[in-house]
Amino acid sequence: MTTPAGSADTNLPQTGPSAFDEHHPPSRELLDDCVHCGFCLPTCPTYQLWGEEMDSPRGRIYLMDLAEKGEIGLEGPLRQHIDACLGCMACVTACPSGVQYDKLLESVRPQLERNVPRTPADRMFREAIFALFPYKRRLRAAALPGALYQKLAAVPAVRRLAAKLPGRLAALESLLPPVTVREAFATLPVHTSAVGERRGRVALLSGCVQDVFFHRVNEATVRVLAAEGLDVLVPRDQQCCGALELHAGREDPALARAKRTIERFERLDVDHVVTNVAGCGSSMKDYAHLLADDPEWARRAKEFSARVRDVHEVLAELGPRAPRSPVPARVAYHDACHLGHAQGVRTQPREVLRSIPELEVLDIPEAALCCGSAGIYNMIMPEAADELGRRKADNVRSVEPAVVVTANPGCLLQIGKHLKDGTGADLPLLHPVQLLDASIRNVPVPRS
Amino acid sequence: MALDPVARAAIVAALGPDDVVDDPVQTRAYECDGLTGYRVRPEIVLIPRDAEAVARAVKACHRNGVPFVARGAGTGLSGGALPVADGVVISLARLKRVLEVDPVNRRAVVEPGVTNLEITAAAAAHGLYYAPDPSSQQVCTIGGNVAENSGGAHCLKYGFTTNHVLAMEVVLPDGELVTLGGDSAEQLGPDLRGVFLGSEGTLGITTKITVRLLRTPETVRTLLADFPSVAEAGEVVSDIVAAGIVPAAVEMMDTLAIEAAEEAVHAGYTVGVPAALVVELDGPIEQCDAEFAQVKEICDAHGCTRLHIAGSPEERAAIWRGRKAAFAAVGRISPDYFVQDGVVPRTRLAEVLGRIADMGDEAGLRVANVFHAGDGNLHPLVLYSAAAGETERAEELSGAIAELCVELGGSLSGEHGIGTDKACSMPKMYGEEDLAVMKRVRDAFDPEGLCNPGKVLPTPRLCGERPGKYRPHPLEESGVIERL
């Protein structure tokens, strides 16, 4: 077996200095883990949409590899294709070689944010998103009926933007459904005692988008945890966990939020820090890795991350105790990417749902495929997100559910939008704990 | 020699900008398939959306004398989809519709970019499935399966792709769209379908494939058995066949392969045992039960140290997940590796494995073995570290193993194809006359030599030179000839 003309060695030699800067570049070992087998292709949403190698996990890794070897720059194709990635991590699940694409993406995105300038319109739009989402108060103002667009349009920069990016703004608006004033401003009790004999003590991250748009999910979560025998603390002065910024490569503000969150929760005497949002859980579990080389924070981050649990993990581990009343319904469970792929939490939510008598849990075809929400993705890449959203809605309809549940507000908004655009307008879309809450309290299943 | 600008414009115009990738950085993502040791950047990548667009693309290449290479999912392990410098890659990734499932006649018509497993998924509702199941079935495309005549774990009982494809719509190397074969398995005249199948993309590009579907077996029984030696496991395989049993699959993994697979998917394999067999029987319940009992007896007779019978579809899936992930999982225990593919007569399995182990020791390299033991199709994986400068030694060992298979009365390739990787070994297996006949067949389809050139058949340029170290010929030095 000889190597023919025109070929190169298995590992191309370094041809120049790396295009990445010295702060956490993608590591050579992680890049070399990819053997280019292609098992990631069928689960990659963008490869499914466009069928182009550069927009597949192994293609993106190939480009990272070239940049690390100094053969290509960071600007141009590398940025374009890393931007197009949803960060759903389906490839991490699919990869037989254990390639840590999550870690690679986590180091490459901040590199691009730091070193490759964005166009003014793109930059402004992103600034607008990050000036809004991590802040509960601003979100509340935006969430009041009919207020969002007017509020945004009052900002001159946004008005100029609207002319340039009508698709993005429309996407932003359609994803933020108005909520009632009462819900937007409601707060959770700081302390809720366990019902019956106490089985533990947890603190709940109430989230930003979650607490404003899905306050009812937080209420249900507190009730369910208490009913199952847990004391529940909800620190009043907690802030955003930084997930949106982290997943978009905005490293500095994300780390600042991570530290604030650690600081807020580490002094609480609790067994676990619980979240009911997939994206928040995956970022909080990642703090340990993110702050690993920060001498002041490494140990604290590690201890904090070790205590973080998704609400389903806690419930499944405790096992059901509160009596449940039957909910005779066909329920489609959608695996949020940041729960299934990023945290490997797949069986627990199903187990929790199956603890409800007469409830039938349905799996959705193409379950591993992202719905297109992906943090801020459906705002910055609305066309691709819409295509994925339609596909997810079709798959959801195909199993003819009476209720659809998923554990991430982004997915709820995205799937809700696309079910409405089709024929599934009156399908209730819920977080799984809302169903459990209804079952435990023996009340009708809520409509939203 | 760069691509002529007129030719470039004509090729790009054949599809339109949305279906063309010609950025010098983006096209690098197409430099290699699953065999990364060979990399060539194509000048243009075309990603057509239907058969007519494929024909237009090929016609434009043909008219302008530009070589082209078809690409499916790019999972091939012999460099069959390696691009040609200054040439065109035609990706079939967007031709991925299942056009028809006909449960009455048990056929499906699909486009070439549909994955092997998607065919089964589309047929499952009718109690049907597509039988050939290469280990990469969730990602490899049916177009690539046709090109490589792919097999898979179950080809022992059910045969290769060629036994399951009735007809193909094909774009010939001059851009003409024709149909080879037909809805019925009995066709008059020369079997052009058979000629095309397994031609590794050298005779044209498929755009539509009619496959046979089989009824999902009434029952499937799967066991995983550990053995104290590879030789004992090999004898079990021979005894099963000698007993008149035709298993759906018999797979063997050695200790290194088990370690890698277990680390990747935690499928319940025993880490540390010298060899494990996966035996699967399918068919009517009574027959399966009777034969399964026999298989268990044979395993016990050969010192089986642990016998695990899949008790549920999930357990069965786990066993197969372990087996099918083994190739890629080897990446976990070695920074680099070559996947080899060869065939030996089943009776010489133990012998060939012994010789491979000796050769590995001699070269100072580890070799993991995963194979379709039932039909003697070996997949030795040569582990090495490029960083430690072991590439050349590993490459030599891998090549020597393939040639050892030929020496023992087997074949250079069981299912991965010859592609770029083994073209130069072809003379070990075939004489000059054989190769000349193959060349004539190829020339009949592709007289200009534009369709996946440089693959399968050895050429002086391909096999006479080694890259990297350029050594000028004395005649070059004296200025008599010029090579480039």
A207's tokens: 């989230």
Phi and psi of A341, rounded to 5°?
A: -75, -45
What is the rounded distance in angstroms from the CA atom of residue B266 to the CA atom of residue B270?
Answer: 10
Q: Is some CB atom of chain A closer than 8 A to the CB atom of B395?
A: yes
Q: Is some CB atom of chain B closer than 8 A to the CB atom of A7?
A: yes
A168 and A286 together in one domain: no
Instruction: Kindly state whether residue A447 falls inside one of the protein's structural domains.
Output: no
Please tell me the predicted confidence (pLDDT) of residue A169. 65
* The last residue of a domain, from among B91, B124, B140: B91
User: Of chain B residues 113-132, which have a CB less than 8 A from chain A?
Assistant: 113, 115
To the nearest whole angstrom, how far is the Cα of A163 from the nearest Cα of chain B?
25
Contacts of B113 in chain A (CB under 8 A): 51
To the nearest whole angstrom, how far is the Cα of A59 from the nearest Cα of chain B?
5
What is the rounded distance in angstroms from the CA atom of residue B62 to the CA atom of residue B450?
Answer: 7
Contacts of B332 in chain A (CB under 8 A): 97-98
CA B287 to chain centre: 32
Find the closest chain A residue to B340 by CA distance. A1
* Pairwise CB contact (< 8 Å): B39 & A12: yes
- Name the residue type at position A162: A
Instruction: Kindly state whether residue A19 falls inside one of the protein's structural domains.
Output: no
A192 and A299 together in one domain: yes
To the nearest whole angstrom, how far is the Cα of A200 from the nearest Cα of chain B?
32
B103 and B211 together in one domain: yes
The pLDDT tens digits for B81-134 are: 999 999 999 999 999 999 999 999 999 999 999 999 999 999 999 999 999 999
Instruction: Kindly state whether residue B50 falls inside one of the protein's structural domains.
Output: yes
A304 and A339 together in one domain: no
A160 and A197 together in one domain: no
B23 and B81 together in one domain: yes
Instruction: Kindly state whether residue B368 falls inside one of the protein's structural domains.
Output: yes
Contacts of A12 in chain B (CB under 8 A): 39
Q: How confident is the model at residue A163 (pLDDT cuts 50, 70, 90)?
A: low
Host domain of residue A259: 187-316
Q: Which of A4, A66, A99 sits opposite B38 (nearest CB)?
A: A4
B44 and B65 together in one domain: yes
* Pairwise CB contact (< 8 Å): A52 & B93: yes
A111 and A149 together in one domain: no
Host domain of residue B59: 5-91
Contacts of A4 in chain B (CB under 8 A): 38, 420, 423-424, 454, 462-463, 465, 467
pLDDT higher than threshold 80 for residue B12: yes
B123 and B51 together in one domain: no
Q: Which of B91, B391, B398 sits opposite A1 (nearest CB)?
A: B398
A193 and A300 together in one domain: yes
Instruction: Kindly state whether residue A20 falls inside one of the protein's structural domains.
Output: no
The pLDDT tens digits for B415-471 are: 889 999 899 999 999 999 999 999 999 999 999 999 999 999 998 766 764 444 445
A342 and A307 together in one domain: no
Q: Which of B74, B336, B425 sits opposite A1 (nearest CB)?
A: B425
A302 and A328 together in one domain: no
B327 and B385 together in one domain: no
* Count of the separate structural domains present in chain B: 4
Please tell me the predicted confidence (pLDDT) of residue A209. 85
What is the rounded distance in angstroms from the CA atom of residue A204 to the CA atom of residue A78?
Answer: 38
Instruction: Kindly state whether residue B471 falls inside one of the protein's structural domains.
Output: no
* The last residue of a domain, from among B181, B215, B249: B215
What integer is the mean pLDDT of B162-189?
A: 93
Find the closest chain A residue to B423 by CA distance. A1
* The last residue of a domain, from among B417, B438, B462: B417
- Residue B12 · residue B23 · CB < 8 Å: no
Instruction: Kindly state whether residue B463 falls inside one of the protein's structural domains.
Output: no
A141 and A199 together in one domain: no
pTM: 0.91
Instruction: List the CATH number of the domain containing A104.
Output: 1.10.1060.10
What integer is the mean pLDDT of A387-395?
A: 96
A435 and A373 together in one domain: yes
Contacts of B40 in chain A (CB under 8 A): 6-7
Report the sign of the C-alpha dihedral through residues A227, A228, A233, A234, in that order. negative
Q: Is some CB atom of chain A closer than 8 A to the CB atom of B74?
A: yes
Q: Pairing state of beta strands A429-430 and A403-406?
A: parallel
Instruction: List the CATH number of the domain containing B408.
Output: 3.30.70.2740
Instruction: List the CATH number of the domain containing A271.
Output: 3.40.50
A216 and A244 together in one domain: yes
pLDDT higher than threshold 80 for residue A15: no
User: Of chain A residues 66-105, which have a CB less than 8 A from chain B?
Assistant: 66, 72, 76-78, 95-99
Which ranges of B330-477 does DSSP label H, i.e. alpha helix?
Answer: 349-363, 391-407, 426-429, 432-445, 460-464, 474-477
Instruction: Kindly state whether residue B433 falls inside one of the protein's structural domains.
Output: no
A112's tokens: 């691009």
* The last residue of a domain, from among A84, A115, A146: A115
Of the listed ranges A31-45, A336-350, B304-318, B340-354, the least confidently predicted one is: B340-354
To the nearest whole angstrom, how far is the Cα of B317 from the nearest Cα of chain A?
15
Find the closest chain B residue to A75 by CA distance. B25
Instruction: List the CATH number of the domain containing B255.
Output: 3.30.70.2190
Instruction: Kindly state whether residue B397 falls inside one of the protein's structural domains.
Output: yes
**Most confidently modeled range among A3-7, A136-140, B341-345:** B341-345
B300 and B339 together in one domain: no
A307's tokens: 């205590």
Q: Is some CB atom of chain A closer than 8 A to the CB atom of B38?
A: yes
Q: How confident is the model at residue A7 (pLDDT cuts 50, 70, 90)?
A: very low
* Pairwise CB contact (< 8 Å): A7 & B402: no
Report ipTM (2 d.p.).
0.89
* Count of the separate structural domains present in chain A: 4
What integer is the mean pLDDT of B329-342?
A: 86
What integer is the mean pLDDT of A32-61?
A: 95
A226 and A341 together in one domain: no
Find the closest chain B residue to A71 by CA distance. B25
Write the CB contacts of A343 (distance below 8 Å, at least 6 apart in sequence): A278, A281, A282, A285, A310
* Pairwise CB contact (< 8 Å): A4 & B113: no
Q: Is some CB atom of chain B closer than 8 A to the CB atom of A13?
A: no
Instruction: Kindly state whether residue B429 falls inside one of the protein's structural domains.
Output: no
Instruction: Kindly state whether residue A182 falls inside one of the protein's structural domains.
Output: no
What integer is the mean pLDDT of A316-330?
A: 97
Find the closest chain A residue to B330 by CA distance. A97
To the nearest whole angstrom, how far is the Cα of B325 from the nearest Cα of chain A?
6
To the nearest whole angstrom, how far is the Cα of A343 from the nearest Cα of chain B?
16
Instruction: List the CATH number of the domain containing B130.
Output: 3.30.465.10
A220's tokens: 């249900």
Instruction: Kindly state whether residue B434 falls inside one of the protein's structural domains.
Output: no
